[in-house]
Structure 1
Amino acid sequence: MQNKPDFKRELCCLAWGLLAAALAVLACCWTGYDLTDRLSELASYTLINDDYTRYADLTEQGLTQLVPVPAGEPVYGVRLKFDTHNTAYPAGEVQVELLTQAGQSLGAVRRDYRDIIGDVFVAFPLEDAYIPAADETLTVRITATQPWPGVVSLWCSAEEKDGMPLYSGDTAVGATLAVQQITAYAGQWPMRKALQLALPLGLGAFLAAWLLRRRAALPWVTAAVALCLGCAFVQVTPALTAPDEYTHLAVCYEKASRLSAQPTQGQDGKLLLRECDAPYFGTKTGKIGVLAYKQADTARRTQPGSPNVTTVTGAPQAGQSGNGYYAPQVLGILLARVLGKNFYTMLAYGRMANLLVYALLAALAVALAPKAAQGILTAAALLPMPLQLAGSLSPDALLIGLVFCYLALCLRLRTHKAAAWELVLLAVLAAVNAPNKAIYLPAVLLCLMIPPQNLLAGTAGKTAVLRGHLWQAGVLGLAAASWCAANLGTALRFFGSHTGLGGAAALLIGAVAAACVLAVLCAFEHCRRRNTEKRFWLVFALGVLAAAAAVFAVARRMPVPTPEMMVERLPNGESPYCYTVPYACHYVTVTLKMLVRSAVEQSPLWLQGILGTTLGEPIVYRIDVSWLIGLGLVLALAVAALPVQGSTPLLGRHTAWGVAGTVLCVVCAAVVVSMSWTPLSYTVLFGLQGRYLLPMLPAVLLPAKNAKGIFVPRDTAYPACAAVSTLTLLTILQGFGLYAGWQGAL
């Protein structure tokens, strides 16, 4: 039985959790109320009769208008044009009731004299849509439920339109009202959606406050909070608006078709789709705004699905590239298709599968890491950007989780000799991390932070060091082979010319490989002396510099666009040629100016991309949350990285420099790849986003644990993680408001 102080402590922790949950629910309610107050009247309309020729007076008998509606088109009500003949009446009320062809009432909406003044359009919207299964004719009854002290008229045509008679009582008027069909309407939906978000956000706030207050193990905190906040991102991020989600969906869809033995390609080379999915593959970016939100939510609840049979040709081209990083999303989409779910439910299944795997990998990374590094990994894993990616179809979420696990295992093996399963896991993680994106190959160099004598148990002295270095070389070689199998063709294009690759690219790759081998051999020799760590990283740095010099020397001998080619322009004014390594090495000054301009103009956006304070696809539109949230996230990460007084540094001084150099190599690789997308006419980099550098964020923070003169008396991991969780929750709520309130045209 627990003693009294422990019982009080548990009650205190529970109270903190309940308070955090209550505040989160209140924040959701306020967000919903604010959006409803501002956006409830937003609607979209379809013209049915746009003829304004004469009036039809609203009498005691009322008016009845028949309105044809096509199958599958939502009806939220009608919009009519009134005229009070330049008179503002002090009383009066109009009711408009919609009835189906079978006589069932869809609802009645009332407007009084305050909404009907002068010559004005007045909407009579219903809260929920009526979607007819077949073409039918609706009945619109217009009555004065409270008498008007004067004449109120509605505009109509001079003659009756086909199939749209107008009646005054039981008498045909011989005209048709000027009427518009409301096809979308915000209404009270923002409040409903906010209340839906209250469940995952309230639960996430409760678990974060309760577990962190109890100082529970951080792996459990990471998994629980990531799942809750990620579920909110699944709901908040509109369909096909996450980074590159349209492309990821096409890849996952095609892989799911192959797994289920369905044909993937039509005669025109386009991707084959289920019938219910075909309408949603027409554009590359989904719509945002409160109306698009509500339309998608209504379709998810009401739209029928289709069997898992691909018969309809879609917009994307078949044969999309992909890799194993899509496995969770593919399985989620396949499950939804087998169950016959509709498009939006299928998308949610794929997102949830991706989120689940990310949460497990993030928790595993925290569990593998030494205690001193767990706070850094937890804070990085709970940032808005990785959770947004995990709550979408992006394969980057799986990659981030795997890189976090690799870094955590390398840190773990600095403290003790490796067990057999740890050696196998190290090799597997190095092999699977390398293929996804070419820029992450340098990340496998983090295994060099492991003392070589820790890699093989049962040996000691120089033999242990030599065998440990051989194991590290084997891990790097395995990663390099895996990387080449997936990315060699792409890498050769970066180094290629516009007239062909020739033997120059092969010579370049050979020079780089020779420089790396020379660096490792030199390291083996020098590591037998004193100051092992210092000499190892010094020789390794010299090897990297030698490789860079070889790249520069070989690239200078490769052909580049001629002056005549460089002045060519596409119809939109862009250059048809992009930066390559040979071009950059020939025109160093031009390249440096472009990179400096990019750093000055785009560095704030890169930081936002790392943190996740820019939501959606920033190339298409900018959904920026408050800069105060971004500042708070930076401070929380800095707090998580503060060293504790009297603690042993995670890294040696020279190893910290080696880790920083590894991060720099990843940054340089990202820049090179972005240059390959950047036309020569551009003055800044095109397409470099901060999320590309997110997997290396914990490695950036690790050297801070070695800071001298800056320390705290107690571990700050738990307060920092609580701050990150809170700010991520606020990002979700503000992002929901910004998505819903978007008024731009897409």
Structure 2
Amino acid sequence: MKNKCIWPVALLAVAGAGLWHFLEVQEGAVAVGDAWMRGWYLALLTAVLVFLAGAGLAFSGKSPASFSWIFRKKSKTEAGWRLEQIYPAAGLILGLLFLFVLPPLSAPDEISHYVSAYQLSSKILGMPSNAPNGRVLLRPQDVWVEDLDGVYEYEPDEAGNLKVVLESSEGSRKLGDPLDQSVYHLIWELAPDKQYEPGRAEALEGKMVGSMYPPVTTTPVAYGPQALGMALVRAMDWGTLPLLYLGRLCNLVFFVFMTWLAMKRLPFGKEVLFGTALLPMTLHLSSSFSYDAMIMGCMFYFTAVCLDLAYEKERAEWKGVAVLSLVMAAAGPCKMVYAVMMGLCLLIPVKKFGGWGRWFISAACVAGAWAGAMYLVNSQVIVSYATETESYVQWAGESGYSLSLLIHQPMRLIKIFYQTLLWQAQHYHLTMIGAYLGNLDPVLDVPYVLVVLFTLCLLGLALRKPGESLSITGGKRMWVFAVCAACASAVMLSMLIAWTPLSSRVINGVQGRYFLPFLPVLLLALKNDWVVLTKERNRSILYLMCCLNGYELLRLYAIVSIRL
């Protein structure tokens, strides 16, 4: 490649920024007397620089001779390692670094996802998973993660377990919220497998305790990877930190695996999927307990199979239809709004099925798999949404929108959608890229300059390059836009009904991360004949995104270190 000099220059820039932020870490370490914070930061800096050096070699086509037998080139004409060869290492390493810098329960709604995975791990082990009141049962040594200050008071329930006295839970603090220096200090003290305040667990006399956080009502498939990791830890009778980290790690491995499968299956646009997987928000979610990792991985693979059948395969065989059905059945019940993604199946020409008869059967299989899974998991939720005439928004303490109300007042629906797009579009963009990490914590931010650079990188990956042919054109391009718009509208409508009080002038609760599952196919449809880049720089752009993530990791660690 002609622009190989970008690798050492970018590496030196990140190293210089890392040394600058070391001054902030030093300040925080001196303020609290935790000298180990400097060591952690220098280890993080070293890991980031080693990763960027390796990524630079990979993207430039160079590989250490000792590993050349693993990363063989597909053809003599292909420059460097293929993207699907680079991604697993890049995704895992960056995910692990995000997992380290943003520790357990600091991601959006992660405490609820953690409790849900815990519930499934109990079922895997054949142990009681829920108390009579429906609360998830926790080991006594794990209760502290949602009660750092020990304010909970307990009373026995009818099954012999302990339940928290509701009044005593007010003011309790959970791990990772907010994410400040004390969280790093606590993890340092407990690593690798020490018990947090052992006397508190001993006082519970070995009885299981009902969590104060309700589990997410969804398919257990959403928490399979996390629960398997947690079940292993519990079977080995390890402590809470291994439980938290191995559960997260299994979720990360699953996401990287599914994205790698999607990248291999995509007939074109692999660089766009790679770029989406390198966004800070994507990395943050995939290295947490969040079921967003499963949704994104499945939707990425669903998109890849649809495009493969539409543009690469000569025939749409039953194997492909079965894969689409299985993926939609697994991911659909998590968030029913992504059922709209089934519209991508219509990109596949009817003739590839061998006629309208087989096409209808195939469509029925995919739609039926989703409908069956939805019925088994979410039938009560669907019925309540469809039949209730009044809605109450708990967090706002007032009435909300119902489907019946919106049907009878369509202009009100149009007005609130219009106002939301005008006033919230910037927020959606920022939170999709990752401007506010953690639980939408404005302190744990990705600077606006980096948000702009990540956005430009995505556009650079999506635009047509010299000599590149267009695949998604004409009516099919319009159809992809329509599917993505419908999916975004479904997301907004669901939050309008579930989370928005009547007094609000905009839809509440929508975050940009909800748009990540269909972002790759939306970007692929942007490729056109009107704007064509003069040079192909996909690998340089992807490397730049790696560097931006490396810098952001160092900056986030420094911020947490001085957040006392």
Structure 2 unmatched ranges of 5 or more: 62-79, 148-172
Q: Quick one: which of 187, 201, 209 aligns to 2:56?
A: 209
Partner of 1:468: 359
The answer on 1:262 being equivalent to 2:252 is: no
The answer on 1:333 being equivalent to 2:323 is: no
Letter in 1 for 2:332: A
CA–CA separation in structure 1 for the residues paired with 2:195 and 2:447: 39
CA–CA separation in structure 1 for the residues paired with 2:339 and 2:504: 27
The answer on 1:195 being equivalent to 2:195 is: no
Q: Does the 8 Å CA contact 1:678/1:686 hold for their aligned counterparts?
A: yes
Q: Does the 8 Å CA contact 2:450/2:548 hold for their aligned counterparts?
A: yes
Query: How far is the alpha carbon of 1:357 from its aligned partner?
Result: 1.1
Partner of 2:329: 431
Letter in 1 for 2:518: M
Query: How far is the alpha carbon of 1:392 from its aligned partner?
Result: 0.6
Partner of 1:513: none
Letter in 1 for 2:507: L
Report the TM-score when normalising by structure 1.
Answer: 0.63
Q: Does the 8 Å CA contact 1:222/1:382 hold for their aligned counterparts?
A: no
Q: Does the 8 Å CA contact 1:33/1:191 hold for their aligned counterparts?
A: no
Letter in 2 for 1:730: Y
Partner of 2:500: 678
The answer on 1:34 being equivalent to 2:24 is: yes
Q: Does the 8 Å CA contact 2:115/2:215 hold for their aligned counterparts?
A: no
RMSD, aligned α-carbons: 3.0
Any idea what SS the aligned residue of 1:276 has? helix
Instruction: Give 1:508-657 correspondences, 5 Å limit.
Output: 574-618=396-440, 623-657=444-478
Identify, as 1 or 2, the structure richer in strand. Answer: 1
Instruction: Give 1:232-381 correspondences, 5 Å limit.
Output: 232-266=97-131, 270-282=135-147, 283=173, 286-301=177-192, 303-304=194-195, 311-316=207-212, 321-322=217-218, 323-370=220-267, 372-381=268-277
Letter in 2 for 1:325: A
Query: How far is the alpha carbon of 1:379 from its aligned partner?
Result: 0.7
Instruction: Give 1:59-458 correspondences, 5 Å limit.
Output: 185-214=32-61, 215-266=80-131, 270-282=135-147, 283=173, 286-301=177-192, 303-304=194-195, 311-316=207-212, 321-322=217-218, 323-370=220-267, 372-413=268-309, 414-417=311-314, 418-455=316-353
* Structure 1 residues 202 and 234, CA gap change in structure 2 (3 angstroms): same
Partner of 1:699: 521
Query: How far is the alpha carbon of 1:41 from its aligned partner?
Result: 4.0
Identify, as 1 or 2, the structure richer in helix. Answer: 2
Deviations 1:581-610 (A, max 9, x none): 222233344444433333233222211221
Report the TM-score when normalising by structure 2.
Answer: 0.83
Any idea what SS the aligned residue of 1:239 has? coil
Q: Does the 8 Å CA contact 1:33/1:190 hold for their aligned counterparts?
A: no
Q: Which moved more, 1:17-26 or 1:595-604?
A: 17-26
* Structure 1 residues 487 and 447, CA gap change in structure 2 (3 angstroms): same
* Structure 1 residues 25 and 333, CA gap change in structure 2 (3 angstroms): farther
Query: How far is the alpha carbon of 1:16 from its aligned partner?
Result: 7.6
* Structure 1 residues 728 and 261, CA gap change in structure 2 (3 angstroms): same
Partner of 2:65: none
Identity, in percent, stands at: 23
* Structure 1 residues 412 and 274, CA gap change in structure 2 (3 angstroms): same
- Greater RCO (CA < 8 Å, at least 6 residues apart): 2
* Structure 1 residues 739 and 602, CA gap change in structure 2 (3 angstroms): farther
Q: Does the 8 Å CA contact 1:337/1:346 hold for their aligned counterparts?
A: yes
Partner of 1:491: 382
Q: How many residues align?
A: 510
Query: How far is the alpha carbon of 1:26 from its aligned partner?
Result: 5.3
Letter in 2 for 1:600: L
* Structure 1 residues 227 and 641, CA gap change in structure 2 (3 angstroms): same
Deviations 1:389-443 (A, max 9, x none): 1111011112101111111111111222245543332332233232211110101
Letter in 2 for 1:658: W
Query: How far is the alpha carbon of 1:234 from its aligned partner?
Result: 0.6
Letter in 2 for 1:672: L
Structure 1 unmatched ranges of 5 or more: 1-8, 43-184, 499-559
Query: How far is the alpha carbon of 1:689 from its aligned partner?
Result: 0.8
* Structure 1 residues 449 and 495, CA gap change in structure 2 (3 angstroms): same
Deviations 1:647-678 (A, max 9, x none): 33121310111111111111111011111211
Any idea what SS the aligned residue of 2:465 has? coil
CA–CA separation in structure 2 for the residues paired with 1:671 and 1:645: 38
Any idea what SS the aligned residue of 1:623 has? coil
CA–CA separation in structure 2 for the residues paired with 1:484 and 1:661: 26
Q: Does the 8 Å CA contact 1:351/1:392 hold for their aligned counterparts?
A: yes
Any idea what SS the aligned residue of 2:430 has? helix
* Structure 1 residues 368 and 186, CA gap change in structure 2 (3 angstroms): farther
Partner of 2:153: none
CA–CA separation in structure 2 for the residues paired with 1:360 and 1:260: 25
Deviations 1:140-171 (A, max 9, x none): xxxxxxxxxxxxxxxxxxxxxxxxxxxxxxxx
Letter in 1 for 2:371: A
Q: Which moved more, 1:219-228 or 1:730-739?
A: 730-739
